[in-house]
Chain A
Amino acid sequence: MPPRVIVTPEAAEVIRRLKEQHGALIFHQSGGCCEGTAPMCFRQRDFHVGPHDVLLGVIEGCPFYVGGAEYKYWEYFQLTIAITTGGGDSFSLEAADGVRFLTRSRMFTDEEAKELDAAGPPPRGSEAFRPAEAGVP
């Protein structure tokens, strides 16, 4: 089954650095204005995952969620979390260092979509993320 969210090597490096600095992290894909429609990276303890949030995947050991309402539009897109320089004031942790995560996306092929449909919908809520299963020490 193709992963719903992947990460570029450059972004992965930033995530590893942020983890060293801040501890366990969580990503939540935001909507709305300004820094919206971008992934927000918070300390896990600082963000409360709700029961409707959908766990799209795990990147660098960090759970990546999207809001339940937004998910229906993202269902058939693979997200690539990348990093860009400059700009974007944000509560997201990396922004203070002058870089910003961003979400690129591509539509799944028909075959990939079939595989994903067969596997059933991704899990929701905070308990969906099981660090041990995700290989997080």
Chain B
Amino acid sequence: MPNDQPQISVHTSAKLRKRYDNFIGGKWVAPVKGRYFTDPSPIDGQPLAEVARSSAEDVELALDAAHAARDAWGRTPPAERARLLNKIADRIEENLELLAHTETIDNGKPIRETRAADIPLGADHFRYFAGCIRAEEGTLGELDNDTVAYHFKEPMGVVGQIIPWNFPFLMAAWKMAPALATGNCIVIKPASDTPLSLAVLMDLIADVLPPGVLNVVNGHGSEVGAPLAANPRIAKIAFTGETTTGRQIMQYASENLIPMTLELGGKSPNIFFADVMAEDDAFLDKALEGFALFAFNKGEVCTCPSRALVQESIFDKFLEKAVARVGKIKMGNPLESTTMMGAQASRGQLEKILNYIKIGKEEGARCAIGGEQAHLGGGLENGFYVKPTVFVGNNKMRIFQEEIFGPVLSVTSFKTLGDAIAIGNDTLYGLGAGVWSRNGTTAYRVGREIQAGRVWTNCYHMYPAHAAFGGYKQSGFGRETHKMIMEHYQQTKNLLVSYSPKAMGFF
């Protein structure tokens, strides 16, 4: 097949096919209905590749392949599964530049992030779960001299995974690595805006995993995601996205009585206590960086520290320095290694963000910097760029309560530690939070009281494997990036064994 060979794209120097089908049973398979959509780059709006616009029939094909592979994969020794996961990590590292480039042109995020974070962290997640599964043991309980309860961990079987577009590669790695480590077969759907890095990975690891263990179905949420989530042939569904679809996923799961993990976003507070300004030193510099990190990945992060709470006694002084720091964020072509902020992922994103900037102004928030679309020249006229924006207002405003998913920060002040906790928790969500203080007790107390799954303390936006990540409240449930996620991909088998020859005496 002419389209089954990697092609040099006219738009990039990377090895990309011109067309991506679905990766099912270890090979590329054209979508049943023969439909494709064009995946454009948010950098300049130019097409990158044609991608399968799949339907429920393709989901069924992928499930057929996964079910055919499940028994053998589930029985594959953990040492062998771990070896293959490490091999995947090797391939990712060997092709770091290709994957980073692909991720950047498809998503618009700066290449300095994809090189240093998305791709290496993805590789490390495979290594981490390779290690976890080697070290895993069942348990046994000696109930009495003759009776033993053995607990074995078994794979769920075939699981469904739906990946968002903001960290297409890393979120896929977060979900695939623990599922594969625990012996499950996967049907995974990348976001239709950002299917390329996962597709490129399939070409890189096609010879590593047995056919059918990992299947990728490309397409849209309503045409692929829904039929996958609703399918009675999956044993578990994992989803990262927004709340209404999260509810719909739960409804489907309830109809099939299967478990799910959901990660649904946040409105994370980043809390700065007065003592951060006690010295003009490296720590203050770090705190200012922490403030500016709302613009990391153009604000398209579920844990974006989109609310900054600054103690009243330092408010003006701190804000002046912090806004100056935001002013130094370098926007531009994300393929340039010095660019810190690239393009928003889509036109829809751009319009949503600009609408929230308008809402902020209408609500009476003061715009301290930014507050408009950025029009970059040099071939980027058709890209989707927003200036990093800082609003000062109060926590009841919509810009403090709704996830904008863009580089828009809402800043307010607090008086006491109690106020900081109250304002921080006055949100529907509870995914992330940041606490900045030189006083360990202050940081500890606030960290414990904030209702969020991850409280970065004197840091922000670090995503290492071995630190649990997940939400409180409407941010969802389940914890990823830690060995505890493996339990979500496992059944527990209890063998309750009697070694006594005597009758039990019931009848």
Using CB atoms and an 8 Å cutoff, list the residues of chain A in contact with chain B. 28-38, 40, 42, 46-48, 50, 67, 69-70, 73-74, 77, 84-93, 95-96, 98, 100, 102-107
Contact = CB atoms under 8 A, between A and B. Distances in A.
A37 B351 contact: no
Interface string B377-421: 000000000000000000000100111110000000000000000
Contact of B245 (A50, A67, A91): A91
Contacts of B219: 96
Given A69-B474, A84-B351, A89-B165, A31 B402 contact: yes
B424 interface: no
A87 B346 contact: yes
A70 B242 contact: no
Interface string B335-348: 00000000001111
Contact of A34 (B165, B223, B351, B429): B165
A93 B302 contact: no
B74 interface: no
Contacts of B345: 87
B362 interface: yes
Contacts of B500: none
Contacts of A28: 244, 247
A90 B348 CA distance: 11
A31 B243 contact: yes
Contact of A95 (B40, B220, B403, B405): B220
B166 A33 contact: yes
Interface string B359-373: 100110000000000
A50 B244 CA distance: 11
A50 B347 CA distance: 31
Residue of B240, B247, B348 contacting most chain A CB atoms (<10 Å): B348
B220 A33 contact: no
Contacts of A84: 347-348, 351
Contacts of B401: 73
B231 to A, nearest CB: 14
A106 B355 CA distance: 10
B241 interface: yes
A50 B40 CA distance: 37
B248 A91 contact: yes
A16 to B, nearest CB: 18
A88 B193 CA distance: 7
Given A30-B243, A31-B243, A87 B37 contact: no
A95 B359 contact: no
A110 B351 CA distance: 27
Contact of B302 (A33, A48, A90): A33
Given A31-B402, A77-B359, A106-B362, 15 more contacts: A31-B244, A31-B403, A32-B429, A33-B242, A35-B245, A37-B404, A40-B242, A47-B248, A84-B347, A84-B348, A86-B346, A87-B193, A88-B348, A89-B221, A91-B241
12 contacts: A31-B402, A33-B164, A33-B405, A34-B302, A35-B242, A36-B403, A46-B226, A48-B247, A70-B402, A84-B348, A91-B241, A102-B355
Contacts of B115: none
Nearest to B301: A33
Given A48-B251, A107-B362, A34 B242 contact: yes
A90 B352 CA distance: 14
B53 interface: yes
Contact of B164 (A34, A50, A70, A102): A34
Contacts of A87: 42, 193, 345-349
A30 B240 contact: no
Contacts of B453: none
B266 interface: yes
B264 A96 contact: no
Contacts of A86: 40, 346-348
A100 B348 contact: yes
Interface string B256-283: 0000000111100000000000000000
A46 B226 CA distance: 10
A37 to B, nearest CB: 5
B427 to A, nearest CB: 10
Contact of A32 (B165, B222, B223, B474): B474
Contacts of B349: 87-88
Contacts of A37: 242, 352, 356, 402-405
Given A47-B251, A87-B193, A87-B348, A35 B223 contact: no
A36 B405 contact: yes
B241 A38 contact: no
Contacts of A88: 193, 346, 348-349
